[in-house]
Structure 1
Amino acid sequence: MKLLGLFWCLILISCSGQSIEKINGVSFVGSREEVIQEHVDPLLKIHANYAAVMPFGFMRESNSPELVFNSERQWYGETKRGAKQYIDLLHKNGVQVMLKPQIWIRRGSFTGDMAMTSEEDWRTFEKSYADFILTYAKLAEETQSSVYCIGTELDEFIKHRPEFWNELIGKVRQVYHGKLTYAANWDEYARTPFWDQLDYVGVNAYFPLCEKQSPTVETLTVGWQPWKAKLKGLSEKHKKPMLFTEFGYRSMDYAGKKPWLVDRNQENVNLKAQADATQVIFDEFWDEDWFAGGFVWKWFIHHDRAGGYADNRFTPQNKPAESVIREHYAQVKKSKL
């Protein structure tokens, strides 16, 4: 009788789609030092079930063919050894990981504009980037990381060298057997050509929503509607769940105008704008079956001295937005994917 019951349960699951837990994640910023339990406890307190671990490669200029990574000159948390230590402790605490190697260009130049000036430089850079991504793909496999991200905001690179990316995805699949995504910028994702080869449509969700100094929940909600329709359409077109590989807002005036800004502007601190915008993104997306979840940008390991009421940057730590995240992540959310 028990076997018959189990049989019908399996039939129902196969008919209704597989129900899986939403990705309630944070972008766990690499530091100069090892991560200890004290650094992970705040993630557990906000009920995060995922963290993005982000080793870095560095370039001197947007057209430099040399990519330096896993160097002794880098911060510990940005290297392979550091990434493994972070992943191991997160896993020990039941937090799953998206390993997300990224590029930093000197002076913070936008990676989406990165392009080489000759065929020779392109080939040199492609070799270096493939080494970078395959090195960390092997680490993702070794550590059994749940998701691996093959790049972040590399629009021009993809447009100029599409065949390279097709080959790279194939090479990654040979060494890593988990879920793959790519973190497309908010204005790039619609033309990214290889979603059918990945497991998630990944988007860094810094969509402009409104130009209000202190936007209301209603204004932010209205601002999301055209973007939400396009995101849903793309997810359905490719039959892939949508994943916000990054999402978040600065705690400042005009938070919904240009959410991607990372400058050192002196806009007034506006904690309510950040909290409300965070609440709206949860309200709009987390109950959608086509939406897999996302990773808050960004979360520093030293929680006690991160963020705070005088800070106008992205982190929600020690701000009202942290409470919004905690309350939402505490809820059990499922997707049928």
Structure 2
Amino acid sequence: MRYIFYFLLSVIFISCAAIPHQPSKINGVSFVASRGVVDSTHVKPILNINANAAAVMPFGFIADLNHPEIIHNTERQWFGETRSGAGQYIEALHKEGINVMVKPQLWISHGEFTGFLKASSEADWLLLETSYTDFVMEYAELAEELNVEVFCIGTELEEFIKNRPEYWHQLIKEIRTVYTGNLTYAANWDEFWTTPFWSELDYVGIDAYFPVSEMQTPTIEDCIKGWEKHKPGLKRFSEKLDRPILFTEFGYRSVDYSGKEPWRYDRSMTSVNLVAQNNATEALFEAVWQEDWFAGGYLWKWFIDHHKVGGLEDNQFTPQNKPVEQIIKAHYYKK
């Protein structure tokens, strides 16, 4: 009996030692579509920061707002923006144990903000709706085919939703007929309060560019204080809907005033301020990540060719090859 006891004890010890670290949050990155295929060398840097999830983002394009038809899955697009490319990315990420959110996105000519997208006639509304349904259903079917964990039905489409709410209720029903995983929508940080269909989804998705600090180089303390303006409302909203909140995008540029208007990406902001990015990111993790109402999020943004992007002279959102990468790695390891 003594030998059996020691044998069982050793088996239990070995089994426990073999269990990998399992964070309870979605610790994700937004995996930017590119020209080429993805393999394990492109996924390894994601694993190196302890991420367990990635958003794959195929694209549709509207060339003319006077004729708002969405063009998608064409040979003129980059590989990662198409159905075959998204599928290849998903399979490569799943192979390495990374969960996936498929997040179809729109690009409007001249970089017009998608939140302002609306049609000027009933005929144009029907054209937009028909082509959007074709676009989204294409990727909902792919998500089901490849057992994708989360599907995002749209990104920052406030006017489209406000003007055509019945279309969106019907679209969600249609998506549910082909996709059996979790659904969300990526609402802009100042839009989500009025989105009418959260009860029909599984997560309240927010692109979390909340202003948190007016400082040129925001301190951790000032940013945490800034989050205290937003957290009570987020908590109440989550509890009211009985849905966890998911940051479908979050992140800060390595630039002066990075916490003031975190959504800004224009080239007029030319400074490089790595400390600002560090502090704003650290504060977000400290203020929000362990809250019970919070499900996790997807860092904006992560490029597939890790060694070629970011760096100490880069002032854009990516954390790659910057000091903030180590902050993310430390927090993504925590449960």
2:166 pairs with 1:175: no
Report if the CA contact (8 A) 2:23-2:333 is conserved.
no
Match status 1:200 vs 2:203? yes
Residue 122 of structure 1 is matched in structure 2 by: 125
Residue 211 of structure 1 pairs with residue 214 of structure 2: yes
Match status 1:140 vs 2:143: yes
Name 1:90's counterpart in structure 2. Answer: 93
Give the letter aligned to residue 208 of structure 1. P
In structure 2, what is the Cα distance between the partners aligned to 1:205 and 1:152?
12
Q: SS of 2:177's equivalent?
A: helix
Alignment-derived partner of residue 6 in structure 1: none
1:232-257 residue CA offsets vs partner (Å, 9 max, x unmatched):
11101100000000000000000011
What residue is the counterpart of 2:308 in the other structure? 305
Cα distance, 1:61 vs structure 2: 3.7
1:200-246, CA deviations, whole angstroms, 9 ceiling, x for partnerless residues?
00000001112211111111111111111111111011000000000
Alignment gaps of 5+ in structure 2:
1-21
RMSD of aligned C-alpha atoms?
1.1
In the TM superposition, what whole-angstrom CA distance separates every residue of 1:250-294 from its partner, at most 9, and x where no partner exists?
Answer: 000000111001111243100011011111111111111110000
User: Relative to structure 2, which stretch is displaced further, 30-39 or 265-274?
Assistant: 265-274
Residue 65 of structure 1 aligns with an amino acid whose one-letter code is P
| Closer/same/farther in 2, CA of residues 164 and 85 from structure 1, 3 Å limit | same
Question: 1:279 matched to which residue of 2?
Answer: 282
Distance, in Å, in 2 between the alignment partners of 1:245 and 1:171 is: 22
* Equivalence for 2:42: 39
Q: TM-score, normalised by structure 1?
A: 0.92
CA contact (8 A) 1:62 1:113 kept: no
Report deviation, 1:64: 3.3
| 1:63 shift after superposition | 4.6
In the TM superposition, residue 73 of structure 1 has moved relative to its aligned partner by: 0.3
Q: Give the partner amino acid of 1:171.
A: E
Counterpart AA for 1:125: L
1:248 matches 2:251: yes
Tell me the equivalent position of 1:26.
29
Count of aligned pairs: 314
> Pick from 104, 107, 128: which aligns with 2:107?
104
Contact kept? 1:58, 1:106, Cα under 8 Å: yes
Contact 1:59–1:66 (CA under 8 A) maintained in structure 2:
yes
Of 257, 268, 276 in structure 2, the residue corresponding to residue 265 of structure 1 is 268
Q: Look up the equivalent residue of 2:79 and give its one-letter code.
A: Y
Question: Paired residue for 1:7?
Answer: none
Contact persistence 1:252–1:267 (CA under 8 A): yes
SS at match of 2:115: helix
Distance 1:130 1:264 in 2: 34
Name 1:11's counterpart in structure 2: none
Deviations 1:21-69 (A, max 9, x none): 2100000000000012111110010111000000000011445321000
**SS across alignment from 1:89:** helix
Counterpart position of 1:227:
230
Q: In the alignment, what sits opposite 1:8?
A: none
Distance 2:23 2:226 in 1: 29
Tell me, yes or no, if structure 1 residue 191 matches structure 2 residue 194: yes
**Paired residue secondary structure (1:206):** coil
**In 2, distance between residues paired with 1:207 and 1:176?**
31
Residue aligning to 1:4 = none
Greater C-alpha Rg = 2
Residue of structure 1 in register with 2:76 after alignment: 73
Task: Tell me if the contact between 1:62 and 1:111 (Cα under 8 Å) persists in the aligned partners.
Answer: no
Runs of 4+ in 1 over 3 A off after TM superposition: 61-64
Q: Distance in 1 between matches of 2:155 and 2:172?
A: 14
TM-score after normalising by structure 2 = 0.92
Partner SS state of residue 229, structure 2: helix
SS in 2 for 1:175: coil
1:289-300 maps to which residues of 2 (within 5 A)? 289-300=292-303
Identity of aligned residues (%): 59
The residue type equivalent to 1:101 in the other structure is P
- Residue 237 of structure 1 corresponds to which residue in structure 2? 240
Q: Distance in 2 between matches of 1:285 and 1:130?
A: 34
SS where residue 295 of structure 2 aligns?
strand
2:238/2:245 contact within 8 Å kept: yes
Q: Contact 2:255–2:315 at 8 Å: present in 1 too? A: yes
Amino acid at match of 1:221: I
Q: Secondary structure at the match of 1:25?
A: strand
